[in-house]
Structure formats: structure tokens, C-alpha cells
């Protein structure tokens, strides 16, 4: 069985993430949406909240499982017997960052590869940070989040 991981902060998960997951789920036997506890970022939601929101968002994708992890992503990949990590690329700026991450991960584990997917054009500009900013300023985010995520965001932001 070919298992891959899709690690990230997912603070919150967006339809861009879901698009990448659906594409990967058609290629691999199992995709583990891996919610990072150690992000180096300040997150709005706790790791447990992000894990729960992600579980709800992917419940209709049969071969996607959600797991939180801490520490190095290559160690988590080894633990779940993943053959690779998938990542989404939106723009050239993503490529620079993602390439450096992929090269470091390969340095840490020479049997680990990164596979890139490009989201549908309607999600190329979308980021979790942008979503949080638009919602906090009262903007509309129709069709950009899985069901339930906007409600969780508004509740967390007291809107």
C-alpha cells in the first residue's frame, strides 16, 4: 500500500488544501493529512482544534486519514511508513520555500521524496493567513472553506 503524508499547519484548512488532498487521494492508496504541532508559527487554533476541524473537513474522502504529529516530518513519515510527502505549489514564491524544505528533508532521510501538486486555478492565491485576515475584517469567503470551518473561525475570533 502506498501511503503519503500531507503535512502542514492547516490553521485553518481551506478548499485549496482539500483540492490537493483529492488529487493525491486519486494517486495514492492512503493520504495522511498530518497536522503539525511544532509549526514555528503562531496559530489561532490549538493542534487538537486543527486536527478536529481537519477530520470534519475530510470525512467524505475515503482514503484520507488525519493525524497530528510533533517533531521532524521525516520521523513522522518513517513512523507511518509513508513513501513521500505531498505539498501544494501556488506560485513561484512557494516553489523556492518548498524546494529548500524538500532538499532538507531528503538530506535528513535519503529514502524520502516530496511530490508537488498544483491546486485548481481558483485556489492559487488562497492561504490560511489570508482567510483569517479577510474574515477578521468582515469580508466574504464564499466557497473558499470546507463546511464548518468558517463557523469555527468566526467563533474563535468572536465574530
Q: How far apart are CA 153 and CA 159, in angstroms?
A: 8
Active site residues: 17, 41, 90, 128
Spell out where 1-144 has E strands: 3-8, 30-36, 64-69, 84-88, 113-117
Instruction: Report which DSSP code applies to 122.
Output: G
Crossing angle (nearest 10°) for helices 15-27 and 47-58:
60
Amino acid at each position: 500500500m502506498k501511503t503519503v503524508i500531507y503535512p502542514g499547519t492547516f490553521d485553518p484548512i481551506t478548499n485549496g488544501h482539500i483540492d490537493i488532498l483529492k488529487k493525491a487521494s486519486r494517486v495514492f492508496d492512503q493520504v495522511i493529512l498530518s497536522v503539525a504541532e511544532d509549526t514555528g508559527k503562531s496559530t489561532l487554533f490549538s493542534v487538537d482544534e486543527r486536527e478536529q476541524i481537519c477530520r470534519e473537513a475530510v470525512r467524505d474522502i475515503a482514503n484520507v486519514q488525519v493525524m497530528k504529529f510533533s517533531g521532524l516530518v521525516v520521523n513522522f513519515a518513517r513512523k507511518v511508513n509513508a513513501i513521500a510527502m505531498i505539498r501544494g505549489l501556488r506560485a513561484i514564491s512557494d516553489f523556492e520555500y518548498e524546494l529548500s524544505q524538500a532538499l532538507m528533508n531528503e538530506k535528513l532521510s535519503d529514502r524520502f521524496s516530496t511530490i508537488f501538486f498544483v491546486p485548481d486555478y481558483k485556489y492559487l492565491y488562497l492561504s490560511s493567513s489570508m482567510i483569517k485576515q479577510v474574515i477578521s475584517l468582515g469580508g466574504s469567503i464564499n466557497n473558499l472553506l470546507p463546511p464548518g470551518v468558517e463557523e469555527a473561525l468566526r467563533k474563535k475570533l468572536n465574530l
